[in-house]
């Protein structure tokens, strides 16, 4: 899916001239030039603004975790929410380094509601049902999660947004979503997630094959979310739709965020113009979705943490691309001779 950045070919030509007349050989900044073009087309100006960004982490639990698809127990989701709120996670450290604000959303963490003034409470329930044997959520829960996400995304005030997640079992959910929405074979989409051993990986494969057999081979995105999604993934998809409606650039993180972006694009293909793929996760399924969508990520650092960490690290490249278009001299400005 190549982003449909603007309906105006004349404006496209203006952007291309603005980039090509900078004091450099044409095309010499590679992917940054494509990124600058996307940002300018999205904002409809040759002087795009990319000064601020925010990370939102959506947290939710999965009923599948009880079946043993992860190396970590389900209570880690809740524990990590407190870690985010206290600023101790990798996402917090990267965000602080880059002067990016972080907010944490309870989309559906198992157990009693978490009472913390710093937490954004949008919980749909205390975790999803076990998608191996039944739908993860009802249609009304799915719609509520998407609506809550849309509200969060539409209210974004920064130029760009990063969306991350936390939810034990959510790589299993992402694998099933990609399988059902894109029709990709399931087995290659299943990876080690939190780092499962060989025996657990074999059990994970068996369980997800069992889950997949419950429904048709291909599902519409909204049905796939209800059957196999997590509250955090579904709410993130809604947030992407909301942020796109507000004209924001959305930096997509790894495998889990990619499954949300996949669902969101199937619900509204126009948001592809807003999506920048921050990095290629080491999680095998991520690369397969990127290939299926013909998507070109900015970074490949062998990461597979989630939390929005890969999206955060791509933010300086986004800022640099916009700054190049805004501030770099042209050949005429600098009185430098252009190509002969």
Whether pLDDT at 283 is above 80: yes
Q: Which residues are catalytic, by number?
A: 307
Reported as a pLDDT band with limits 50, 70 and 90, residue 225 is very high
Whether pLDDT at 199 is above 60: yes
Query: Which two three-digit tokens encode residue 2?
Result: 């190549």
State residue 5's pLDDT score: 46
Q: Which residue has the higher pLDDT, 178 or 201?
A: 178
State residue 340's pLDDT score: 66
3-state secondary structure of 8: coil
Whether pLDDT at 3 is above 80: no
State residue 335's pLDDT score: 84
**What does DSSP say about strands 160-166 and 119-121: parallel, antiparallel, or unpaired?**
unpaired
CATH class for the domain made up of 9-49+323-334: mainly alpha
Q: Per-residue pLDDT averaged across 176-187, rounded?
A: 97
State residue 156's pLDDT score: 97
Alpha-carbon separation of residue 340 from 22, 263, 326 (angstroms) = 15, 48, 25
- Closest Cα partner for 272 from 236, 317, 240, 305? 240
Chain-centroid distance of CA 260 in Å reads 6
Q: What is the pLDDT of residues 236-273, one digit of tens each?
A: 999 999 999 999 999 999 999 999 999 999 999 999 99
Whether pLDDT at 119 is above 50: yes
Whether pLDDT at 295 is above 70: yes
For 193, residues 6+ apart whose C-beta sits below 8 A from its C-beta are: 69, 70, 71, 171, 172, 204, 283
Q: Tell me which of 22-36, 98-112, 237-251, 322-336 is least confident.
A: 322-336
Domain ranges of the chain: 9-49+323-334, 53-318
Backbone angles phi, psi at 119, to 5 degrees: -90, 135
Reported as a pLDDT band with limits 50, 70 and 90, residue 97 is very high
Query: Which two three-digit tokens encode residue 232?
Result: 């955090």
Dist. CA 335–CA 278, nearest whole Å: 36
Whether pLDDT at 275 is above 90: yes
Average pLDDT over the chain, rounded to whole?
Answer: 95
- CATH match for 53-318 among 3.40.50.1100, 3.30.1280.10, 3.30.565.10, 3.40.50.10210: 3.40.50.10210
pTM of the predicted structure, to 2 decimals: 0.95
Reported as a pLDDT band with limits 50, 70 and 90, residue 314 is very high
Q: What is the pLDDT of residues 23-48, one digit of tens each?
A: 999 999 999 999 999 999 999 999 99
Dist. CA 84–CA 105, nearest whole Å: 10
State residue 334's pLDDT score: 84
Dist. CA 229–CA 221, nearest whole Å: 10
Q: Per-residue pLDDT averaged across 39-64, rounded?
A: 97
State residue 1's pLDDT score: 41
Count of helix runs (H) and strand runs (E) in the chain: 13, 6
State residue 32's pLDDT score: 97
State residue 7's pLDDT score: 54
Q: Per-residue pLDDT averaged across 224-231, rounded?
A: 98
């Amino acid at each position: 899916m190549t982003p449909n950045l603007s309906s105006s070919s004349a404006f496209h030509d203006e952007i291309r001239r603005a980039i090509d007349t900078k004091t450099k050989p044409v095309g010499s900044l590679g992917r940054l030039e494509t990124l600058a073009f996307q940002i300018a087309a999205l904002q409809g100006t040759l002087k795009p603004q990319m000064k601020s960004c925010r990370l939102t982490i959506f947290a939710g639990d999965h009923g599948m975790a009880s079946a043993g698809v992860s190396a970590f127990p389900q209570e880690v989701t809740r524990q990590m929410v407190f870690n985010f709120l206290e600023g101790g996670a990798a996402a917090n450290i990267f965000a602080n380094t880059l002067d990016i604000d972080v907010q944490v959303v309870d989309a559906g963490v198992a157990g009693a509601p978490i009472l913390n003034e710093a937490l954004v409470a949008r919980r749909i329930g205390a975790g999803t049902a076990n998608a191996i044997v039944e739908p993860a959520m009802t249609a009304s829960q799915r719609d509520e999660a998407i609506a809550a996400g849309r509200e969060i995304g539409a209210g974004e005030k920064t130029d760009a947004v990063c969306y991350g997640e936390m939810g034990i079992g959510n790589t299993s959910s992402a694998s099933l979503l990609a399988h059902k929405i894109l029709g990709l074979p399931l087995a290659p989409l299943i990876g080690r997630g939190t780092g499962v051993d060989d025996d657990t990986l074999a059990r994970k494969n068996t369980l997800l094959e069992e889950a997949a057999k419950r429904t048709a081979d291909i599902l519409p995105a909204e049905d796939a979310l209800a059957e196999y999604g997590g509250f955090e993934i579904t709410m993130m998809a809604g947030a992407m739709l909301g942020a796109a409606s507000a004209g924001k650039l959305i930096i997509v993180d790894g495998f889990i965020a990619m499954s949300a972006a996949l669902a969101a694009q199937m619900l509204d293909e126009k948001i592809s113009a807003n999506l920048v793929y921050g990095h290629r996760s080491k999680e095998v399924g991520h690369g397969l979705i990127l290939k299926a969508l013909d998507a070109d990520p900015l970074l490949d650092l062998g990461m597979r943490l989630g939390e929005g960490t890969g999206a955060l690290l791509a933010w300086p490249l986004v800022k640099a691309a916009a700054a190049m278009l805004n501030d770099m001299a042209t050949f005429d400005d600098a009185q430098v001779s252009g190509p002969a």
